[in-house]
Structure 1
Amino acid sequence: MRSWLLCISAGVLAGVANAACTNKCGSNKCLAAIAADPEFGESFCSSWLALEPATTTVTEVETVTSTLVNVETALTTLTLTTATITVTGSEHSTIFQKRVPTITEVDPALPDPTDAIVSQCSSNDDRISKACSCILSTATASTVTVFETAVATAVVEAESTIVETATENVVATVSVAAPAVTIPANIIVNGAFEGYLKTGNISPWTDTLTSTGGRLDIVNGVNPCSSANGVVTCAGGQVVIRPYPPTTGSKYVAIRETFVGRPSTTYAFSFMYRCLNYDSGTKIDVLYKGAVVGSANQCVNSASFSRSTGITFTTDATGQGEVEVRFRNSGATPYLYFYADDFSAIAV
């Protein structure tokens, strides 16, 4: 039985996590989530750990025959160099490359297994990495052997000295397509910041505090709701961020997140926000790969939140990108701050 299965079984029978398993495989809860679907789990882990194709080197030397006809004295010397065959992958190998997806459309009626794994692993990179290393430690690597045959025949009809030299240098490369990767409907991870309650951070978001200054608080207990055309919508969680942009220097503070979406696809980016102690220059800019793609500046004297509209970006052929949200204090207004929540990017 695989060692990680023993870890899961031990945790279930004892009712607690086995210490040895926890050290090696991380959280049993996280490990069980990845192992729930072995095929998907190995695909997910190979992508997460950014595994590269293995390289197999095969060396073979074949026997060479020489035929001598009507010769009283003949010397045949055959010199062969080693045939070196370098093979990368094979049609029988499964090679997982990190986030270079062949897109599989998601059935919105089914839960996304990636979300389930991230949730059970508490969005903790270290837990996921430990569990994945444990899952893949018993995987059998596929190898391919390529045989090249060098055969030389010398036919001599007169007395002479024959020297035959055969040299073969072969490099064979086989490319294997990466497996399908499931892209969720909303490609922004932890857009509601509820993961903060378990992890104590807003990962995979990062902030610009060290480079731009300002302040960023995580607030629990706010229930953001907005009203548009008489319809009231709420964020569904009570954790929000509270940015305080600086009044000098950059005059903004930002959060960023990298993601993988569908290649060459347009996404609508939106979020809920509220401005406090604002002026006419107060706004929130959204940047995709460093370029501004839209802004939100509907600050009103109301406890209700506003939802940004009309902000879109289009991914390139890789589907990979970074979105940055800048909370600006262009007028250097004292005590200006924002609330923000429920960030999402949905294909249109």
Structure 2
Amino acid sequence: MKAWALCIGAGIMAGVANAACAQSTCGSAKCLGAIGNDAVFGESFCSSWLSLAPVTTTVTEAEAVTSTRTNLETTLTTVTVVTGTTTLSATAATTVFQKRVFTLSGADPAATIVSQCSSNDARVSSACSCFLSTTTTSTVTVVETAVSTVVPEVTNTIVETVTSNVLATTTAPMQTVTIPPNVVVNGGFEGYLTTGDILPWVDTVATTGGRFEVVNGVNPCTSTGYCSGGRIVVRVYPPTAGSGYTGMSETFSARPSTTYAVSFLYRCLNFDTSSGIDVYYAGVRVGRATCPAGNSAAFNRATGIQFTTDTTGAGELQIRFNNPTNLPYLYYYADDFQAIAV
């Protein structure tokens, strides 16, 4: 056995140094004994002191395999397989050392070793070299596990779900609209007594000129002397220039595709043979009431005028009071307008 090995045994067993150790190349017996006092700590201390690094070989195996498959429709599926990481060492025995940082304070074993080595770096290094040459070698066996790189194929099945929102169907009864026999509204102008106007009739004075008045108190009568139509009448003065007219109109709803007969009471004053009242339906003239010969002192009823509604039944009735010869004193009375299905 080498002399320094005997010194270690002596230092460990007796805790004191002998003379032979002092002459050893491993340093003093006290120094070597302090290191060997705790074999585990001694290995750590000396490995750190001598800056020894563990001899290991690290092999990293990593393989990323990507498979891209286009399945049904336009779905893209990507499968990624990554192997693990394996650390391998050489086939020879590997010594593993653990480095420890020590401080020279208190009862730290490292401080004791340095103190027993007389704080001499050369002695510490020499003793550590000798000590580590006798330590047991730690062997690490690494087994490599084979990793399959086969990329599994994945088939996706797309199931389309169609959801139909079904709304509850409710059958509502048709609204019943009652159309009166006379579809002209306020044909006798009696609404004027309560509303102060003759709506839904509107006049054309703003665009055609002339004058339009509502008269309360005139009792229109037929040529036979029979009075009818109420006390409210309209009095119209057509323009005296431009051979124009002054009109009034209203819109209403009648029966679809139905023929109606128009009648009304009228009276002409200060007229000539060309004077008269035209009736238009939906912009088309459908009849005319002419003034009688001579001065008309009585009311006459216009008849024989008809119009036919379209498939909607909606339309506009317009009455035009004409002055084709620009008579200066011509005017008309009118009342009791009716449009009755025939």
TM-score, normalised on structure 2? 0.51
Q: Deviations over 1:246-277 (max 9, x none)?
A: 01236100000111111111111011011111
Instruction: Give the superposition deviation at 1:178.
Output: 4.0
- Gap runs ≥5 in structure 1: 1-158
Give the match's secondary structure for 1:225.
coil
Task: Name the amino acid aligned to 2:233.
Answer: V
Match of 2:157 in 1: 162
Match of 1:312 in 2: 306
Q: Deviations over 1:202-239 (max 9, x none)?
A: 10001111110110011111000103xxx543224111
Instruction: Give the superposition deviation at 1:161.
Output: 3.2
**What are the residue-to-residue correspondences of 1:12-51 with 2, within 5 Å?**
none
Match of 1:242 in 2: 235
Aligned residues: 189
Instruction: Give the superposition deviation at 1:343.
Output: 0.5
1:199 to 195, 198, 215: 195
1:343 to 320, 323, 337: 337
Match of 1:179 in 2: 175
1:190 to 186, 200, 216: 186
Instruction: Give the superposition deviation at 1:169.
Output: 5.9
Q: Which moved more, 1:256-265 or 1:297-306?
A: 297-306
* Aligned equivalents of 2:241, 2:186: Cα separation in 1: 30
**What are the residue-to-residue correspondences of 1:1-348 with 2, within 5 Å?**
160-168=155-163, 178-227=174-223, 232-249=225-242, 251-299=244-292, 300-348=294-342
On the 8 A contact 2:229/2:335 being kept in 1, the answer is no
Q: Deviations over 1:141-179 (max 9, x none)?
A: xxxxxxxxxxxxxxxxxx953221224466878886741
* Aligned equivalents of 2:280, 2:288: Cα separation in 1: 9
Instruction: Give the superposition deviation at 1:286.
Output: 0.2
Give the match's secondary structure for 2:190.
coil
Instruction: Give the superposition deviation at 1:280.
Output: 1.6
Instruction: Give the superposition deviation at 1:302.
Output: 3.5
Task: Name the amino acid aligned to 1:255.
Answer: M
On the 8 A contact 1:212/1:249 being kept in 2, the answer is no
Give the match's secondary structure for 1:198.
helix
- Gap runs ≥5 in structure 2: 1-153
On the 8 A contact 1:212/1:250 being kept in 2, the answer is no
* Aligned equivalents of 1:235, 1:222: Cα separation in 2: 11
Q: Deviations over 1:16-56 (max 9, x none)?
A: xxxxxxxxxxxxxxxxxxxxxxxxxxxxxxxxxxxxxxxxx
Give the match's secondary structure for 1:164.
coil
Task: Name the amino acid aligned to 1:215.
Answer: R
On the 8 A contact 1:257/1:324 being kept in 2, the answer is yes
* Aligned equivalents of 1:216, 1:171: Cα separation in 2: 59
Provide closer, same or farther for how the CA distance between residues 248 and 266 of structure 1 changes in structure 2, counting only shifts above 3 A: same
On the 8 A contact 1:242/1:339 being kept in 2, the answer is yes
* Aligned equivalents of 1:193, 1:204: Cα separation in 2: 10
Provide closer, same or farther for how the CA distance between residues 165 and 191 of structure 1 changes in structure 2, counting only shifts above 3 A: same
On the 8 A contact 2:271/2:295 being kept in 1, the answer is no
Give the match's secondary structure for 1:181.
coil
* Aligned equivalents of 2:164, 2:327: Cα separation in 1: 72
Match of 1:15 in 2: none
Give the match's secondary structure for 2:160.
strand
* Aligned equivalents of 2:191, 2:202: Cα separation in 1: 14
* Aligned equivalents of 1:279, 1:171: Cα separation in 2: 72
Task: Name the amino acid aligned to 1:206.
Answer: V
On the 8 A contact 1:252/1:329 being kept in 2, the answer is yes
Give the match's secondary structure for 2:335.
strand
* Aligned equivalents of 2:204, 2:332: Cα separation in 1: 16
On the 8 A contact 2:234/2:334 being kept in 1, the answer is yes
Provide closer, same or farther for how the CA distance between residues 167 and 254 of structure 1 changes in structure 2, counting only shifts above 3 A: same
Greater relative contact order, per chain length (Cα 8 Å cut-off, separation 6+): 1
Instruction: Give the superposition deviation at 1:335.
Output: 1.2
Give the match's secondary structure for 1:163.
coil
On the 8 A contact 1:285/1:325 being kept in 2, the answer is yes
On the 8 A contact 2:252/2:316 being kept in 1, the answer is yes
